[in-house]
A and B are shown apart, each in its own frame.
Chain A
Protein backbone atom coordinates (compact mmCIF):
# COMPACT_ATOMS: atom_id res chain seq x y z
CA UNK A 1 0.00 0.00 0.00
CA UNK A 2 1.48 3.38 -1.05
CA UNK A 3 0.60 6.13 1.34
CA UNK A 4 2.62 9.25 1.97
CA UNK A 5 3.84 10.19 5.43
CA UNK A 6 1.77 13.36 5.24
CA UNK A 7 -1.42 11.48 4.47
CA UNK A 8 -0.71 8.91 7.13
CA UNK A 9 -0.21 11.59 9.78
CA UNK A 10 -3.34 13.46 8.72
CA UNK A 11 -5.33 10.27 9.10
CA UNK A 12 -3.73 9.51 12.46
CA UNK A 13 -4.68 12.94 13.75
CA UNK A 14 -8.21 12.42 12.55
CA UNK A 15 -8.33 8.94 14.05
CA UNK A 16 -9.13 7.50 10.63
CA UNK A 17 -6.30 5.00 10.17
CA UNK A 18 -7.35 1.64 8.80
CA UNK A 19 -5.84 -1.51 10.28
CA UNK A 20 -3.32 -1.73 7.45
CA UNK A 21 -2.40 1.93 7.82
CA UNK A 22 -1.92 1.51 11.55
CA UNK A 23 0.74 -1.11 10.79
CA UNK A 24 2.48 1.22 8.35
CA UNK A 25 2.26 4.01 10.91
CA UNK A 26 3.87 1.84 13.60
CA UNK A 27 6.59 0.85 11.17
CA UNK A 28 7.44 4.38 10.11
CA UNK A 29 6.99 6.20 13.39
CA UNK A 30 10.48 5.42 14.67
CA UNK A 31 12.15 7.41 11.89
CA UNK A 32 13.33 10.94 12.72
CA UNK A 33 11.82 12.39 9.55
CA UNK A 34 8.43 10.90 10.37
CA UNK A 35 8.61 12.20 13.94
CA UNK A 36 9.32 15.73 12.73
CA UNK A 37 6.42 15.58 10.30
CA UNK A 38 4.15 14.26 13.02
CA UNK A 39 5.10 17.07 15.39
CA UNK A 40 4.64 19.69 12.71
CA UNK A 41 1.30 18.26 11.67
CA UNK A 42 0.12 18.17 15.30
CA UNK A 43 1.08 21.81 15.86
CA UNK A 44 -0.49 22.84 12.55
CA UNK A 45 -3.73 21.06 13.44
CA UNK A 46 -3.76 22.76 16.83
CA UNK A 47 -2.90 26.18 15.37
CA UNK A 48 -5.64 25.76 12.78
CA UNK A 49 -8.21 24.83 15.40
CA UNK A 50 -7.22 27.94 17.38
CA UNK A 51 -7.62 30.08 14.27
CA UNK A 52 -10.98 28.45 13.62
CA UNK A 53 -12.02 29.32 17.19
CA UNK A 54 -11.01 32.93 16.65
CA UNK A 55 -13.02 33.05 13.44
CA UNK A 56 -16.02 31.44 15.12
CA UNK A 57 -15.82 34.18 17.71
CA UNK A 58 -15.68 36.81 15.00
CA UNK A 59 -18.80 35.22 13.43
CA UNK A 60 -20.62 35.32 16.75
CA UNK A 61 -19.62 38.92 17.36
CA UNK A 62 -20.63 39.91 13.84
CA UNK A 63 -24.01 38.21 14.20
CA UNK A 64 -24.66 40.03 17.47
CA UNK A 65 -23.70 43.35 15.93
CA UNK A 66 -26.04 42.74 13.02
CA UNK A 67 -28.89 41.86 15.37
CA UNK A 68 -28.33 44.76 17.75
CA UNK A 69 -30.02 47.60 15.81
CA UNK A 70 -33.07 45.41 15.22
CA UNK A 71 -33.52 44.51 18.87
CA UNK A 72 -35.90 46.80 20.71
CA UNK A 73 -34.93 45.49 24.11
CA UNK A 74 -31.32 45.14 25.09
CA UNK A 75 -30.68 41.49 25.84
CA UNK A 76 -28.05 41.60 28.57
CA UNK A 77 -27.95 37.85 29.12
CA UNK A 78 -27.17 37.14 25.52
CA UNK A 79 -24.54 39.83 25.37
CA UNK A 80 -22.86 38.51 28.49
CA UNK A 81 -22.93 34.95 27.27
CA UNK A 82 -21.44 36.06 23.97
CA UNK A 83 -18.76 37.93 25.88
CA UNK A 84 -18.02 34.76 27.83
CA UNK A 85 -17.72 32.77 24.61
CA UNK A 86 -15.48 35.49 23.25
CA UNK A 87 -13.18 35.37 26.26
CA UNK A 88 -12.94 31.60 26.19
CA UNK A 89 -12.26 31.31 22.52
CA UNK A 90 -9.68 34.01 22.43
CA UNK A 91 -7.85 32.78 25.46
CA UNK A 92 -5.04 31.18 23.58
CA UNK A 93 -5.48 32.63 20.13
CA UNK A 94 -2.36 33.98 18.52
CA UNK A 95 -4.09 37.04 17.27
CA UNK A 96 -4.46 38.29 20.78
CA UNK A 97 -0.75 37.94 21.32
CA UNK A 98 0.52 40.25 18.63
CA UNK A 99 2.03 43.47 19.97
CA UNK A 100 -0.19 46.54 19.97
CA UNK A 101 -2.87 44.64 18.13
CA UNK A 102 -5.95 45.26 20.22
CA UNK A 103 -8.29 48.16 20.56
CA UNK A 104 -9.93 48.88 23.90
CA UNK A 105 -13.15 46.99 23.23
CA UNK A 106 -11.43 43.89 21.89
CA UNK A 107 -9.10 43.80 24.84
CA UNK A 108 -11.98 44.24 27.24
CA UNK A 109 -13.83 41.34 25.63
CA UNK A 110 -10.72 39.17 25.87
CA UNK A 111 -9.90 39.87 29.49
CA UNK A 112 -13.19 40.60 31.19
CA UNK A 113 -14.55 37.87 33.33
CA UNK A 114 -17.09 38.61 36.04
CA UNK A 115 -15.34 38.66 39.40
CA UNK A 116 -16.37 35.65 41.48
CA UNK A 117 -18.45 36.38 44.51
CA UNK A 118 -17.31 35.91 48.06
CA UNK A 119 -18.98 33.32 50.25
CA UNK A 120 -18.92 35.45 53.38
CA UNK A 121 -22.27 36.28 54.95
CA UNK A 122 -22.63 38.84 57.67
CA UNK A 123 -24.59 38.71 60.94
CA UNK A 124 -28.01 40.17 61.68
CA UNK A 125 -28.62 43.89 61.36
CA UNK A 126 -30.36 45.88 58.62
CA UNK A 127 -27.18 46.86 56.80
CA UNK A 128 -25.77 43.36 56.90
CA UNK A 129 -29.06 41.98 55.67
CA UNK A 130 -28.87 44.31 52.66
CA UNK A 131 -25.26 43.34 52.06
CA UNK A 132 -26.16 39.62 52.15
CA UNK A 133 -29.09 40.18 49.79
CA UNK A 134 -26.91 42.17 47.40
CA UNK A 135 -24.24 39.46 47.39
CA UNK A 136 -26.86 36.79 46.91
CA UNK A 137 -28.15 38.66 43.82
CA UNK A 138 -24.55 39.08 42.64
CA UNK A 139 -23.94 35.33 43.07
CA UNK A 140 -26.95 34.65 40.89
CA UNK A 141 -25.55 37.08 38.30
CA UNK A 142 -28.60 39.30 38.88
CA UNK A 143 -26.46 42.39 38.52
CA UNK A 144 -29.27 44.90 38.17
CA UNK A 145 -30.81 43.67 41.39
CA UNK A 146 -27.42 43.71 43.13
CA UNK A 147 -26.96 47.30 41.97
CA UNK A 148 -30.36 48.28 43.42
CA UNK A 149 -29.63 46.72 46.81
CA UNK A 150 -26.09 48.11 47.08
CA UNK A 151 -27.45 51.56 46.17
CA UNK A 152 -30.03 51.22 48.93
CA UNK A 153 -27.21 50.27 51.31
CA UNK A 154 -25.27 53.34 50.24
CA UNK A 155 -28.23 55.52 51.19
CA UNK A 156 -27.84 54.21 54.76
CA UNK A 157 -24.06 54.23 55.16
CA UNK A 158 -20.81 54.99 53.41
CA UNK A 159 -19.85 51.93 51.41
CA UNK A 160 -16.71 50.02 52.40
CA UNK A 161 -14.00 49.27 49.82
CA UNK A 162 -15.40 45.79 49.34
CA UNK A 163 -18.99 47.01 48.95
CA UNK A 164 -17.87 49.66 46.47
CA UNK A 165 -15.95 46.98 44.62
CA UNK A 166 -18.99 44.73 44.18
CA UNK A 167 -21.23 47.65 43.26
CA UNK A 168 -18.61 48.60 40.66
CA UNK A 169 -18.60 45.01 39.43
CA UNK A 170 -22.40 45.06 39.15
CA UNK A 171 -22.22 48.19 36.99
CA UNK A 172 -19.39 46.72 34.91
CA UNK A 173 -21.36 43.56 34.19
CA UNK A 174 -24.23 45.72 32.93
CA UNK A 175 -21.83 47.76 30.79
CA UNK A 176 -22.55 50.92 32.78
CA UNK A 177 -18.93 51.92 32.41
CA UNK A 178 -18.90 55.37 33.97
CA UNK A 179 -20.64 54.25 37.16
CA UNK A 180 -18.37 51.20 37.28
CA UNK A 181 -15.35 53.51 37.10
CA UNK A 182 -16.67 55.68 39.94
CA UNK A 183 -17.12 52.78 42.35
CA UNK A 184 -14.08 50.76 41.33
CA UNK A 185 -12.03 53.92 41.79
CA UNK A 186 -13.34 54.19 45.37
CA UNK A 187 -12.47 50.57 46.07
CA UNK A 188 -8.99 51.00 44.59
CA UNK A 189 -7.91 53.73 46.98
CA UNK A 190 -6.58 51.67 49.88
CA UNK A 191 -3.36 49.77 49.03
CA UNK A 192 -3.58 47.87 52.33
CA UNK A 193 -7.00 46.37 51.52
CA UNK A 194 -7.00 42.83 50.15
CA UNK A 195 -9.18 43.87 47.22
CA UNK A 196 -6.75 46.59 46.08
CA UNK A 197 -5.07 44.57 43.29
CA UNK A 198 -8.35 43.32 41.85
CA UNK A 199 -9.98 46.73 42.17
CA UNK A 200 -7.24 48.36 40.10
CA UNK A 201 -7.31 45.61 37.52
CA UNK A 202 -11.08 45.87 37.09
CA UNK A 203 -10.81 49.66 37.05
CA UNK A 204 -8.53 49.31 34.02
CA UNK A 205 -11.09 46.97 32.44
CA UNK A 206 -13.86 49.49 33.12
CA UNK A 207 -11.85 52.14 31.24
CA UNK A 208 -11.42 49.69 28.37
CA UNK A 209 -15.16 49.06 28.38
CA UNK A 210 -15.54 52.84 28.23
CA UNK A 211 -13.23 52.81 25.17
CA UNK A 212 -10.59 54.85 27.00
CA UNK A 213 -7.30 53.07 26.27
CA UNK A 214 -5.19 55.87 27.69
CA UNK A 215 -6.80 55.77 31.14
CA UNK A 216 -6.59 51.97 31.13
CA UNK A 217 -2.91 52.11 30.18
CA UNK A 218 -2.08 54.43 33.06
CA UNK A 219 -3.55 51.99 35.57
CA UNK A 220 -2.04 48.95 33.89
CA UNK A 221 1.38 50.60 33.97
CA UNK A 222 1.08 51.04 37.73
CA UNK A 223 0.10 47.38 38.14
CA UNK A 224 2.93 46.30 35.84
CA UNK A 225 5.54 48.09 37.94
CA UNK A 226 4.18 46.70 41.21
CA UNK A 227 5.85 43.30 41.46
CA UNK A 228 3.74 42.38 44.49
CA UNK A 229 0.51 42.87 42.57
CA UNK A 230 -1.16 39.57 41.67
CA UNK A 231 -2.23 41.02 38.31
CA UNK A 232 1.31 42.14 37.48
CA UNK A 233 1.96 39.59 34.72
CA UNK A 234 -1.48 40.05 33.15
CA UNK A 235 -1.03 43.83 33.13
CA UNK A 236 2.32 43.49 31.33
CA UNK A 237 0.73 41.17 28.79
CA UNK A 238 -2.14 43.61 28.22
CA UNK A 239 0.17 46.59 27.81
CA UNK A 240 2.03 44.81 25.05
CA UNK A 241 -1.13 44.27 23.09
CA UNK A 242 -3.10 47.43 23.73
CA UNK A 243 -3.11 49.92 20.87
Chain B
Protein backbone atom coordinates (compact mmCIF):
# COMPACT_ATOMS: atom_id res chain seq x y z
CA UNK B 1 0.00 0.00 0.00
CA UNK B 2 1.29 3.42 -0.93
CA UNK B 3 -0.32 6.76 -0.17
CA UNK B 4 -0.97 9.18 -3.04
CA UNK B 5 1.76 11.39 -1.65
CA UNK B 6 4.28 8.54 -1.59
CA UNK B 7 3.45 7.69 -5.18
CA UNK B 8 3.87 11.27 -6.36
CA UNK B 9 7.13 11.69 -4.46
CA UNK B 10 8.53 8.47 -5.82
CA UNK B 11 7.57 9.14 -9.43
CA UNK B 12 8.88 12.67 -9.30
CA UNK B 13 12.35 11.34 -8.62
CA UNK B 14 12.45 10.03 -5.08
CA UNK B 15 14.40 6.96 -4.16
CA UNK B 16 11.51 4.59 -3.54
CA UNK B 17 11.04 1.64 -5.80
CA UNK B 18 9.40 2.97 -8.97
CA UNK B 19 8.74 -0.44 -10.46
CA UNK B 20 6.86 -1.35 -7.29
CA UNK B 21 4.95 1.92 -7.52
CA UNK B 22 3.95 1.24 -11.11
CA UNK B 23 2.81 -2.27 -10.21
CA UNK B 24 0.81 -0.87 -7.32
CA UNK B 25 -0.75 1.83 -9.49
CA UNK B 26 -1.73 -0.80 -12.02
CA UNK B 27 -3.12 -3.41 -9.65
CA UNK B 28 -5.04 -0.92 -7.53
CA UNK B 29 -6.80 0.59 -10.56
CA UNK B 30 -7.30 -2.23 -13.04
CA UNK B 31 -10.63 -3.43 -11.59
CA UNK B 32 -12.27 -0.03 -11.85
CA UNK B 33 -10.91 0.60 -15.34
CA UNK B 34 -11.93 -2.85 -16.57
CA UNK B 35 -15.44 -2.26 -15.31
CA UNK B 36 -15.55 1.14 -17.05
CA UNK B 37 -14.32 -0.23 -20.37
CA UNK B 38 -16.47 -3.38 -20.35
CA UNK B 39 -19.58 -1.26 -19.79
CA UNK B 40 -18.62 0.92 -22.70
CA UNK B 41 -18.07 -1.23 -25.73
CA UNK B 42 -14.60 -2.49 -24.85
CA UNK B 43 -12.73 -5.65 -23.94
CA UNK B 44 -10.44 -6.57 -21.06
CA UNK B 45 -7.39 -6.02 -23.28
CA UNK B 46 -8.65 -2.51 -24.07
CA UNK B 47 -8.88 -1.82 -20.35
CA UNK B 48 -5.30 -2.97 -19.84
CA UNK B 49 -4.12 -0.77 -22.68
CA UNK B 50 -6.06 2.27 -21.50
CA UNK B 51 -4.81 1.97 -17.93
CA UNK B 52 -1.23 1.66 -19.18
CA UNK B 53 -1.68 4.89 -21.15
CA UNK B 54 -3.33 6.67 -18.22
CA UNK B 55 -0.33 5.78 -16.04
CA UNK B 56 1.98 7.13 -18.76
CA UNK B 57 -0.04 10.39 -18.82
CA UNK B 58 0.33 10.65 -15.05
CA UNK B 59 4.05 9.81 -15.18
CA UNK B 60 4.84 12.36 -17.86
CA UNK B 61 2.81 15.07 -16.12
CA UNK B 62 4.68 14.47 -12.88
CA UNK B 63 8.04 14.52 -14.68
CA UNK B 64 7.19 17.82 -16.35
CA UNK B 65 6.86 19.30 -12.87
CA UNK B 66 4.18 21.38 -11.27
CA UNK B 67 1.66 18.55 -11.20
CA UNK B 68 -1.05 19.24 -8.63
CA UNK B 69 -3.49 16.58 -7.63
CA UNK B 70 -7.05 17.95 -7.34
CA UNK B 71 -8.56 14.66 -6.20
CA UNK B 72 -7.54 11.14 -5.19
CA UNK B 73 -4.98 9.64 -7.55
CA UNK B 74 -7.37 6.82 -8.44
CA UNK B 75 -10.01 9.41 -9.44
CA UNK B 76 -7.45 11.14 -11.63
CA UNK B 77 -6.46 7.87 -13.32
CA UNK B 78 -10.11 6.97 -13.81
CA UNK B 79 -10.88 10.34 -15.42
CA UNK B 80 -7.87 10.17 -17.71
CA UNK B 81 -8.78 6.61 -18.71
CA UNK B 82 -12.32 7.73 -19.48
CA UNK B 83 -10.99 10.55 -21.63
CA UNK B 84 -8.59 8.32 -23.56
CA UNK B 85 -11.21 5.63 -24.13
CA UNK B 86 -13.83 8.07 -25.36
CA UNK B 87 -11.31 9.52 -27.80
CA UNK B 88 -10.45 6.07 -29.07
CA UNK B 89 -14.10 5.22 -29.57
CA UNK B 90 -14.62 8.46 -31.43
CA UNK B 91 -11.59 7.83 -33.59
CA UNK B 92 -12.81 4.34 -34.45
CA UNK B 93 -16.43 5.52 -34.79
CA UNK B 94 -17.61 3.15 -32.06
CA UNK B 95 -19.41 5.67 -29.85
CA UNK B 96 -22.75 3.88 -29.98
CA UNK B 97 -23.62 1.58 -27.06
CA UNK B 98 -21.75 3.62 -24.50
CA UNK B 99 -23.19 5.13 -21.35
CA UNK B 100 -23.87 8.87 -21.12
CA UNK B 101 -21.58 8.88 -18.15
CA UNK B 102 -18.61 8.43 -20.47
CA UNK B 103 -19.37 11.77 -22.10
CA UNK B 104 -19.30 13.67 -18.84
CA UNK B 105 -16.18 15.73 -18.84
CA UNK B 106 -13.89 15.64 -15.88
CA UNK B 107 -11.76 18.65 -16.74
CA UNK B 108 -11.61 19.80 -13.15
CA UNK B 109 -10.03 16.49 -12.22
CA UNK B 110 -7.87 15.96 -15.28
CA UNK B 111 -6.74 19.59 -15.17
CA UNK B 112 -4.88 20.64 -18.25
CA UNK B 113 -6.46 18.98 -21.24
CA UNK B 114 -4.70 15.91 -22.54
CA UNK B 115 -3.51 16.85 -25.99
CA UNK B 116 -3.83 13.56 -27.77
CA UNK B 117 -3.71 9.84 -27.54
CA UNK B 118 -0.26 8.35 -27.69
CA UNK B 119 0.78 6.77 -30.94
CA UNK B 120 2.77 3.63 -30.66
CA UNK B 121 2.79 2.99 -34.39
CA UNK B 122 6.17 4.70 -34.53
CA UNK B 123 7.59 2.29 -31.96
CA UNK B 124 9.32 0.14 -34.52
CA UNK B 125 10.89 3.08 -36.32
CA UNK B 126 12.06 4.67 -33.10
CA UNK B 127 13.27 1.32 -31.78
CA UNK B 128 15.40 0.77 -34.90
CA UNK B 129 16.77 4.28 -34.62
CA UNK B 130 17.87 3.71 -31.04
CA UNK B 131 19.34 0.30 -31.76
CA UNK B 132 21.95 2.15 -33.78
CA UNK B 133 22.67 4.61 -30.96
CA UNK B 134 23.98 1.78 -28.78
CA UNK B 135 22.97 0.54 -25.36
CA UNK B 136 24.85 3.01 -23.20
CA UNK B 137 23.74 6.04 -25.22
CA UNK B 138 20.19 4.73 -25.22
CA UNK B 139 20.21 4.50 -21.44
CA UNK B 140 21.89 7.86 -20.87
CA UNK B 141 19.56 9.73 -23.22
CA UNK B 142 16.37 8.14 -21.95
CA UNK B 143 17.36 8.55 -18.31
CA UNK B 144 18.28 12.15 -18.82
CA UNK B 145 15.62 13.38 -21.23
CA UNK B 146 12.59 11.20 -20.59
CA UNK B 147 12.99 10.31 -16.93
CA UNK B 148 14.67 13.62 -16.05
CA UNK B 149 17.20 11.84 -13.87
CA UNK B 150 19.96 14.00 -12.38
CA UNK B 151 23.42 13.56 -13.89
CA UNK B 152 24.75 12.36 -10.54
CA UNK B 153 22.33 9.47 -10.56
CA UNK B 154 23.10 8.67 -14.19
CA UNK B 155 26.82 8.61 -13.42
CA UNK B 156 26.20 6.24 -10.52
CA UNK B 157 24.04 3.88 -12.55
CA UNK B 158 26.32 3.85 -15.56
CA UNK B 159 29.48 3.43 -13.51
CA UNK B 160 30.94 6.74 -14.66
CA UNK B 161 33.44 8.36 -12.35
CA UNK B 162 31.58 11.65 -12.05
CA UNK B 163 28.71 13.79 -13.29
CA UNK B 164 30.88 15.56 -15.84
CA UNK B 165 31.58 12.29 -17.62
CA UNK B 166 27.84 11.61 -17.74
CA UNK B 167 27.25 15.10 -19.11
CA UNK B 168 29.91 14.64 -21.80
CA UNK B 169 28.46 11.27 -22.69
CA UNK B 170 25.01 12.78 -23.11
CA UNK B 171 26.39 15.42 -25.49
CA UNK B 172 28.21 12.77 -27.53
CA UNK B 173 25.11 10.58 -27.62
CA UNK B 174 22.94 13.45 -28.83
CA UNK B 175 25.44 14.03 -31.63
CA UNK B 176 25.30 10.36 -32.51
CA UNK B 177 21.51 10.41 -32.49
CA UNK B 178 21.49 13.47 -34.74
CA UNK B 179 23.76 11.75 -37.25
CA UNK B 180 21.66 8.58 -37.15
CA UNK B 181 18.38 10.43 -37.64
CA UNK B 182 19.87 12.08 -40.71
CA UNK B 183 21.18 8.77 -42.02
CA UNK B 184 18.04 6.78 -41.31
CA UNK B 185 16.52 5.16 -44.42
CA UNK B 186 13.10 6.53 -43.55
CA UNK B 187 14.49 10.00 -43.17
CA UNK B 188 16.29 9.57 -46.47
CA UNK B 189 13.14 8.36 -48.18
CA UNK B 190 11.32 11.48 -47.04
CA UNK B 191 14.06 13.65 -48.51
CA UNK B 192 14.12 11.61 -51.73
CA UNK B 193 10.37 11.93 -52.13
CA UNK B 194 10.84 15.68 -52.00
CA UNK B 195 13.31 15.56 -54.87
CA UNK B 196 11.27 13.28 -57.11
Contacts and interface: CB of A to CB of B under 8 A. Distances in A.
Interface string B138-182: 110111011100000100110100000000000000100110010
Contact of B146 (A14, A22, A47, A54): A47
27 contacts: A10-B119, A12-B190, A23-B194, A35-B178, A39-B177, A42-B126, A42-B130, A42-B177, A43-B141, A43-B177, A44-B145, A45-B126, A51-B59, A52-B53, A52-B123, A55-B22, A55-B55, A56-B52, A63-B48, A92-B139, A97-B139, A97-B143, A98-B15, A98-B18, A98-B19, A100-B15, A101-B19
B19 A55 contact: no
A85 to B, nearest CB: 14
B56 interface: yes
Interface of A: 10, 12-15, 17, 19, 22-23, 25-26, 35, 38-40, 42-52, 54-56, 58-59, 61-63, 92, 94-103, 106, 236, 240, 243
Given A97-B139, A106-B19, 14 more contacts: A13-B126, A39-B177, A42-B129, A43-B177, A49-B123, A50-B142, A50-B146, A52-B120, A56-B52, A59-B48, A59-B52, A62-B26, A94-B143, A99-B157
Nearest to A65: B27
B12 to A, nearest CB: 13
B80 to A, nearest CB: 14
Contacts of A240: 156-157
Contacts of A35: 178
B56 A95 contact: no
A63 B142 CA distance: 28
Interface residue range, chain B:
35 or more
A101 B10 CA distance: 11
A101 B121 CA distance: 30
Contacts of A49: 120, 123, 126-127
B135 interface: yes
Query: Which 6 pairs across A and B sit closest by C-beta, in order of nearness?
Result: A47-B146, A55-B52, A95-B19, A43-B145, A59-B48, A47-B142
B102 interface: no
A23 B30 CA distance: 44
A243 B53 CA distance: 28
A17 B19 CA distance: 36
Interface string B15-50: 101111011001100100000000000000000100
A194 to B, nearest CB: 27
Nearest to B123: A49
A48 B22 contact: no
